[in-house]
Structure 1
Amino acid sequence: MNYQDVLYFSETYGLLYLVLLFAIVLVYALWPRNKKKFDDAARMPLEED
């Protein structure tokens, strides 16, 4: 295994890892069950104590 092999592996699987991570975060953020939690968090700065 030389430098080019390691570079190819890290570029390919690093990209796949980041795309998969992005998809998981996107699904979590848009999941209908989480809507109320995110709506409440969005209104927090506007609420008076």
Structure 2
Amino acid sequence: MYRRRNVAERCFNRLEQWRGIAARYCRTARSYQAAVTLAALLMWL
């Protein structure tokens, strides 16, 4: 369980490097979700 938690925390830390996601500039939940999805996709590629 700790191993899975570590992976999730590292993922969130990498996502927070994106300024718009860390500061939550998006006004709506839908646009915030789209920004997180885009950042995750770019990290994965």
TM-score by length of 1: 0.36
Higher helix share goes to which structure? Answer: 1
The structure whose Rg is larger is 1
Indicate the structure whose relative CO is greater, using CA pairs within 8 Å and at least 6 residues apart.
2
TM-score by length of 2: 0.38
